Structure formats: C-alpha cells, structure tokens
C-alpha cells in the first residue's frame, strides 16, 4: 500500500484538527493503528474456558465432583456463549460436568457419602 501526497496531507490535517479540538500540539496526538484482529483476545479466552471446562470435568469424575462439576458446566456454557473455536471441547466439558453431578448423585444414593469407597 502506497500513500500519495494527498493521503499524507489528509492524515496530517486530521491530526491537526483533532489536536485543535483538544487544545494540544499536533505531535502530541498519537497515531491510532487499527486492530489487526479485533476478536482474537476474546476468542483466545473462550478457547481457554473450553479447555479448562474439559479438564475440570475430567478431574471431577475422580475427586471433588461437587465443586468441579458445576464449575465445568459454567465454564463450558461461557465458552459456548463467547463462540469458542473449540466447541467440541466445550461440549465435552459440559457433558463431563453433568457426569460429575450424576456420579455424585449415585454415590450419595448408594453409599450415603460423597466419597469413593474402594473397600468392600
């Protein structure tokens, strides 16, 4: 992309007008570069939530299912609402979070406790 003299003049005039509106020198007005990927940070955060929900749901099957199950469900729903690029992991995290709660319900019903009992 090449800039012609008129493009440079327009940019300089715009900076001068902006500086005049704010009563500052034209050199003090910072050049605003366009953001190359406006949704990249939000997408990265949503992807992280999807992976975290999957991991928490998986770990919740073995321990702390009362805490990790609902956390995995909430994180999966948040990542899906934020349009993650990893919806498969988000859905797996959601399913594992629900499975955590099912395991908890079975443990409470069968053993009367919220802990695994490996002994007879």
The pLDDT averaged over each successive group of 10 residues in the chain (120 residues) is: 53 54 54 57 84 94 90 95 90 96 89 67
| This prediction's pTM | 0.62
Give the Cα separation of 10 and 65 in Å (integer): 62
Please report which residue ranges of 61-119 form alpha helices under DSSP H. Answer: 65-81, 87-111
pLDDT of 113 reads 74
pLDDT of residue 23: 58
Q: Nearest 5°: phi and psi at 47?
A: -65, -40
Look at residues 57, 62, 60 and name the one whose alpha carbon lies nearest to residue 79.
57
A 10 A CB-CB count for 50 gives 27
Res 58: pLDDT: 94
């Amino acid at each position: 992309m090449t800039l012609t003299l008129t493009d440079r003049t327009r940019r300089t005039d715009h900076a001068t007008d902006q500086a005049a509106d704010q009563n500052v020198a034209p050199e003090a007005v910072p050049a605003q570069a366009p953001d190359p990927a406006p949704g990249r940070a939000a997408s990265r955060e949503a992807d992280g939530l999807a992976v975290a929900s999957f991991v928490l749901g998986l770990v919740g099957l073995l321990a702390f299912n009362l805490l990790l199950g609902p956390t995995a469900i909430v994180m999966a729903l948040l990542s899906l609402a934020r349009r993650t690029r990893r919806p498969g992991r988000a859905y797996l995290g959601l399913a594992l979070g629900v499975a955590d709660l099912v395991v908890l319900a079975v443990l409470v019903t069968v053993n009367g406790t919220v802990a695994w009992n490996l002994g007879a």
